[in-house]
Amino acid sequence: SFKSFTHFLSHSLQAKMSRPVQARRLEGIDKNIWVEFVKLAATYSKVNLGQGFPDFPAPDFLTEAFRRALGGGNHMLHQYTRAFGHPPLVKVLAQFFEKLLGRDLDPMTNVMVTVGAYQALFCCFQALVDEGDEVIIIEPFFDCYEPMVKMAGGTPVFVPLRPNPPKDGRLMSSADWQLDPAELASKFSERTKAIVLNSPNNPLGKVFSRGELGLIAELCVKHDVLCISDEVYEWLVYDGKQHIRIASLQGMWDRTVIIGSAGKTFSATGWKVGWVVGPDRLLQHLRTVHQNSVYHCATIAQEAVAQGFQRELTLYGKPESYFIQLPKELQQKRDWLVQSLDGVGLKPIIPEGTYFLVADISQFKSDVPDDPNSDEPYDYRFAKWMVKNKGLAAIPLSAFYSEAHKNNYTNFIRFCFAKEEATLKAANDILQKWKQEKTSS
Ligand code: PMP
């Protein structure tokens, strides 16, 4: 009968659907901290110092450049541009990085434009990492490195920055978190394909010193290892410190891919314009991944970023340069947040760079009692409790650690201070009120 035929049909269709739909490369990488915490912040936060983006406007010269590109006479800016980067942008990036690196660059082969630094990272791992390759990642790290290595079939090998608390009672600095040279050296072997370096480092704000970079460079050269150098916070360095590019160290240019982001550089994270700079022997393979995934990036955004860089090239090293003004403003914001947090006993670790700050929550533990039955790290529960009960959003530090090391770092949360003065004042009000409630209860 028709009924038994449809029964047979639905049965056989059901049987077919029991096979897994997802590719094996997705195993174990389905969790993502941002999905959960961005939603929590949107639902509960009055003051959001969680995810890393400015709440102040991008500079006028940049948004005006976008408007000009959009409404100016060149209607071709609404069409595809060169796949590996809009010619005006790769040209000005090559000129700019020639200055920074002190070497000649070919805009067509030494530079590629990507959909933010995020896609640049994806291209690196897909192009350079094979099944069975090991990739060294320095903890704490920008969380996407680990799943991206795994998706490429590689094995992440973690090496921690170890905190050395100062003995003189001063606040800790991100410089007090250091690699143990012997421990770092022990992670390199013939299986090591690459190391990911992120200086200035998200989440700590550590700016690696010349000595530390020299040590990494020496090991890369000795073991023929590539360096994926995530430098998206290259302009956000404070207290007169200097950002040193590892690609400029002896033997490193040929084995390094530099990654940058217009989102971070020009306070326009929503534009999602990023780039890679490096030798053609590496970039040619990144181009293969790019052309088989994204291929073209938005033309108008690239045109506007090109004009932004053109302006910065003219003003290079001058006080009006955005790359000089932005860190000056952010240093002031950092100092406000340091004061707010220190004032209530959330001991801040003073960042040398980036727009992030990590603070110690130990003195606030009594507010959020531990739950021995929860398998969630304590800092996750603390950050969730804080946004739900105090309206203040931050990110748990253990999100920036591998599964195996998460439980060693559950006493910290990360704040973003790329925020308007009013936002930071509102955060301070919440913290002060919280402290008063603590002392009066
Ligand atoms: N690398 C690091 C270290 C970052 O912090 C971020 C952004 N949070 C990115 C890469 C991604 O940058 P983009 O927004 O340009 O994709």
For a substitution probing ligand 1, which of 202, 231, 400 has the most ligand atoms within 8 Å of its CB?
202
60-315 carries CATH number 3.40.640.10: yes
Question: How many CB atoms are closer than 10 A to CB 180?
Answer: 12
The number of the ligand 1 atom at minimal distance from the alpha carbon of 115 is 16
Q: Digits of tens for pLDDT over the chain (441 positions)?
A: 677 777 766 666 666 677 889 999 998 898 888 999 999 999 999 999 999 999 999 999 999 999 999 998 899 999 999 999 999 999 999 999 999 999 999 999 999 999 999 999 999 999 999 999 999 999 999 999 999 999 999 999 999 999 999 988 899 999 999 999 999 999 999 999 999 999 999 999 999 999 999 999 999 999 999 999 999 999 999 999 999 999 999 999 999 999 999 999 999 999 999 999 999 999 999 999 999 999 999 999 999 999 999 999 999 999 999 999 999 999 999 999 999 999 999 999 999 999 999 999 999 888 887 787 888 899 999 999 999 999 999 999 999 999 899 889 999 999 999 999 999 999 999 999 999 988 776
At residue 278, the pLDDT reads 98
- In eight-state DSSP terms, residue 172 is P
Residue-wise DSSP of 303-354: HHHHHHHHHHHHTTTSTT-HHHHHHHHHHHHHHHHHHHHHHHT--EEB-SBS
30-57+321-440 belongs to which CATH class? alpha beta
As for ligand 1, residues whose beta carbon falls within 6 Å of it are 52, 116-118, 142, 198, 202, 230, 232, 261, 263, 269, 272, 274
pLDDT computed for residue 369 by the predictor: 77
Atom of ligand 1 nearest to the CA of 202: 3
Of 131, 119, 65, 59, residue with least CA distance to 92? 65
**pLDDT value of residue 30:** 86
In angstroms, rounded to a whole number, what is the distance separating the alpha carbons of residues 397 and 382?
11
Residue 280 CA to ligand 1 centre (angstroms): 23
Q: What is the pLDDT of residue 14?
A: 63
Spatial separation of the C-alpha atoms in residues 134 and 101, rounded to whole Å: 28
Q: What are phi and psi of 222, to 5 degrees?
A: -60, -40
Model pTM?
Answer: 0.95
Place of tokens 């200097």: 242
Distance of CA 276 from the midpoint of ligand 1 (Å): 13
Angle ∠(125,130,136) on CA atoms, nearest 5: 60
Boundaries of every domain in the chain? 30-57+321-440, 60-315
pLDDT at position 367: 85
What confidence score (pLDDT) does residue 345 get? 92
Amino acid type, 188: F
Cβ neighbours of residue 375 under 8 Å, at least 6 residues apart?
Answer: none
Ligand 1 atom nearest the C-alpha of 120 is: 16
Q: Which atom, in ligand 1's list, is nearest to the CA of 272?
A: 15
Q: Are the C-beta atoms of residues 54 and 269 closer than 8 Å to each other? A: yes
